């Protein structure tokens, strides 16, 4: 056999071998998805994030052509569901909502996964409307009233949140630090029991997402301030923290991701479908019902956002001495 022919045959064989190795994977990717996809929600059924994520999963199913099965994995301020997603098989058949607080809890040492290494970030979806509320019969008519009382009685007034080091607890502590006031934090295992105790008069104030909305509309609670960049249309009478004189914006956008190691072609199909679903009228309607702004970011920008939050949380943990608060319960 002459040298040229031998080189040609070797080249063809090499090319076939190279093509054969990823063939099964390539076929799987082109066929994806060919069965139902599980969507993990790290929050209890009926909450604000649950409502919007269920709506998103429904629209996403239409764009992917397969059922998207919704599954609640609640607990530990969203970290149980986040861990379940991090350790799932990276085949595109398990996706879910990733709380941005993973960037905080990872640095507090309360979770065993790494938010910078263990997820494939696909899209940022929507935010939440956080606010400070008191009972309608509370003596605190305005945010200024609450701050004045807290300053006059350091550590005596109480505020409830959905748990230690969660978004609402940290946001409230940031606000109090900016205000130069001190209140006693009462952590709960979720927003619902915290709201119940506020209604019952066991605490003076509640820092939470818009679980309080219907009670404010019914006149049972008073909204002192919201924490976003702008006033939500439904509660336009209440000032933002910035309008009240505090240079502070607090939000906790809901992002969608998958386990690390997802095949690029599968990730791309999910990215495209998620963009369509998040920007759909159906998803916006679901968000509008609970005053949750659509805050879409594509995969690359979302990854950059997560990294920036990781850096921000590192500073915040030190400033608020959160590790000590975790230690003390």
The pTM for the full model equals: 0.81
Q: What pLDDT score does 251 carry? A: 86
pLDDT at 29: 60
Which of the four pLDDT bands, split at 50, 70 and 90, describes residue 329?
Answer: low
How many beta carbons lie within 10 A of that of residue 166, not counting itself?
26
Task: Mark 96-131 as b/e (b = at least 16 C-beta within 10 Å).
Answer: bbbbbbbbbbbbbeebebebeebbbbbbbbbbbbbb
Length of the chain, in residues? 329
Give me the sign of the Cα torsion angle 229, 56, 52, 169: negative
Tens of pLDDT, residues 287-325:
998 888 899 999 999 999 999 999 999 999 998 888 877
pLDDT digits (tens, 9 = 90+) for 260-282: 999 999 999 999 999 999 999 99
| 70 pLDDT above the threshold of 50 | yes
Choice between 316 and 2, residue whose per-residue pLDDT is larger: 316
Q: How far is CA 290 from CA 30, 51, 98, 283, in A?
A: 37, 8, 19, 12
Helix ranges (H only) for the chain are 3-20, 23-31, 48-64, 79-86, 102-108, 143-152, 167-179, 191-199, 213-217, 264-278, 281-289, 299-320, 322-327
User: What does the alpha-carbon distance between residue 318 and residue 156 come to, in Å, rounded to a whole number?
Assistant: 24
Q: Give the number of C-alpha atoms closer than 13 A to the C-alpha of residue 226, restricted to the C-beta side.
A: 25
| Digit-coded pLDDT (tens) for 145-175 | 999 999 999 999 999 998 888 889 999 999 9
- Which residues share a beta bridge with 124? 255, 297
């Amino acid at each position: 056999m002459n040298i040229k022919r031998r080189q040609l045959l070797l080249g063809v064989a090499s090319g076939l071998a190279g093509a054969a190795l990823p063939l099964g994977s390539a076929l799987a990717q082109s066929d994806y998805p060919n069965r139902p996809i599980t969507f993990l929600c790290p929050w209890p059924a009926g909450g604000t994030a649950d409502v919007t994520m269920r709506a998103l999963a429904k629209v996403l199913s239409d764009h992917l052509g397969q059922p998207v099965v919704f599954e609640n994995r609640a607990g530990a301020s969203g970290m149980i569901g986040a861990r379940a997603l991090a350790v799932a098989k990276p085949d595109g058949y398990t996706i879910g909502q990733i709380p941005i607080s993973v960037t905080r809890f990872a640095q507090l040492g309360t979770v065993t996964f790494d938010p910078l290494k263990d997820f494939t970030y696909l899209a940022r979806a929507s935010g939440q409307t956080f606010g400070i509320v008191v009972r309608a019969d509370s003596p605190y008519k305005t945010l200024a009233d609450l701050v004045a009382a807290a300053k006059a009685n350091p550590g005596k007034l109480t505020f409830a949140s959905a748990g230690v080091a969660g978004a609402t607890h940290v946001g409230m502590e940031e606000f109090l630090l900016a205000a130069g006031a001190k209140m006693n934090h009462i952590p709960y295992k979720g927003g619902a029991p915290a709201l119940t105790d506020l209604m019952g008069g066991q605490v003076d104030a509640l820092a939470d997402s818009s679980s309080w909305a219907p009670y404010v509309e019914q006149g049972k609670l008073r909204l002192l301030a919201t924490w976003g960049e702008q006033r939500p249309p439904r509660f336009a009478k209440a000032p933002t923290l910035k309008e009240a004189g505090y240079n502070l914006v607090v939000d906790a956008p809901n992002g969608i991701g998958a386990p690390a190691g997802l095949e690029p072609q599968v990730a791309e199909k999910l990215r495209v479908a998620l963009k369509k679903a998040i920007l759909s009228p159906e998803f916006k309607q679901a968000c509008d019902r609970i005053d949750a702004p659509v805050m879409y970011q594509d995969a690359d920008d979302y990854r950059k956002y997560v990294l920036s939050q990781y850096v921000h949380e590192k500073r915040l943990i030190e400033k608020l001495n959160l590790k000590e608060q975790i230690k003390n319960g």
